[in-house]
Structure 1
Amino acid sequence: MTTKLNLRPAIIFLLLFGFAQGAFSQVTKEQEIISKNVRIDKYHDREELLAMNKGQLLDLYIQRIDVIIKILPNIAFTTKPGVTMSDLGIPDTKEHRKALLDNIEATSSYFEDTMAFQKLVLPYSDKSSLLSAILFYEQTLKSLHTYNDFD
């Protein structure tokens, strides 16, 4: 008496298991050196800033610090958000990925600590000093558009 093995259910199970595993496996996206979220949407002139209240100026000031902290230390690599290490020819190694992640975490921690201090004492600053600082930060950030002229 011969027994026939019915392999069809086993093959179907393996195919479904393989598809499910592929669907639920984590897709790792390479970390950007500067996040695409780091940007200034609008630059201001003195008249626009004069028309704002101190609360609006405080928000702008904090946003500018955020961008400066996340971009300026990285300008030897790139001035543009969204660039990855492999875009720059840096080997995608475990050591490099860890170093970049550590740097991103340290930057985030530094920003949070700085903002805790700024939110506590910045409201005591003069409106004119805030305005000048925002214009200075914005001018600094605008200069990044000409950074490649130094190459």
Structure 2
Amino acid sequence: MKTKTTLLTVIFFIIVSIGYAQKSSPRLISGKVSINKYHTLEELNKLQKGQLLTLYIQRIEVLVNILPNIAFATKPNVTMASVGIPETKENKKTLEANQEASVEYFDRTVDFQRLILPYSDTSNIITAILFYEQTIKSLFTYDDFKVD
């Protein structure tokens, strides 16, 4: 009898936690939104082209996930509700469609980059990585430009 009560209690808590998790507000920024390391020119010059291509694509992913939404947020976990967007069915559907379009855009961009980017000069790839990293760093100062 005690096992049955314990089992029912555990099942109850699992059901409650699943139900609670599904009711969270949709996030405006989803996907990868940070990079592990910023590089110097010297560090990038030591890497092989394949490694540079990987870094290049990772930085594009971060920018694709953040830049279109900077009017709302520059950091992850910002929800529609936290920026005052009503959580209507239409708004949620629009956000979901936008996120799906971003994923599709990123996937197509990566396919293109993997096929075409190896023909680019290594120095141009390095320059682009440094530029992308500087752009990502600048997102941390975005709030400095806000006017009230």
Matched, 1:91 2:80: no
Correspondence 1:105 to 2:76: no
Distance change (3 Å), C-alpha of 1:118 and 1:88: same
**C-alpha deviation, 1:81, in angstroms:** 1.1
Counterpart selection for 2:54 from 34, 54, 59: 59
Bigger radius of gyration: 1
Identity %: 55
Report 1:120-139 matches (<5 A).
Answer: 120-139=115-134
- Aligned AA (2:33): V
User: Which consecutive residues of structure 1, in runs of 5 or more, have no partner in the other structure?
Assistant: 1-14
Counterpart amino acid of residue 69 in structure 2:
N
Correspondence for 2:3: none
Aligned pairs for 1:4-19 within 5 A: 19=12
Unaligned runs of 5+ in 2: 1-7
Provide the residue aligned with 2:43 in structure 1.
Answer: 48
Aligned to 2:143: 148
Whole-Å Cα distance in 2 between the matches of residues 149 and 21 of structure 1? 43
Higher normalized helix content (fraction of residues): 2
d(CA) in 2 for partners of 1:137, 1:20: 45
Question: Does the Cα contact within 8 Å between 1:36 and 1:82 map onto a contact in 2?
Answer: no
The RMSD of aligned alpha carbons is: 2.3
Q: Give 1:112 shift.
A: 0.6
- Per-residue deviation, 1:108: 0.2
Cα displacement (A) at 1:21: 9.6
Give the equivalent residue in structure 2 for 1:5: none
Change (3 A) 1:145 1:23: closer
Give the TM-score of the pair, scaled to structure 2.
0.83
Contact 1:60–1:134 (CA<8 Å) still a contact in 2? yes
The 1-side partners of 2:98 and 2:46 are apart by 38
Residue 76 of structure 2, aligned match among 53, 64, 81: 81
User: TM-score, structure 1 length as denominator?
Assistant: 0.82
* Counterpart code for 1:143: S
1:72-116 Cα shifts (integer Å, max 9, x gaps): 010000011111111112111111111110000000000011111
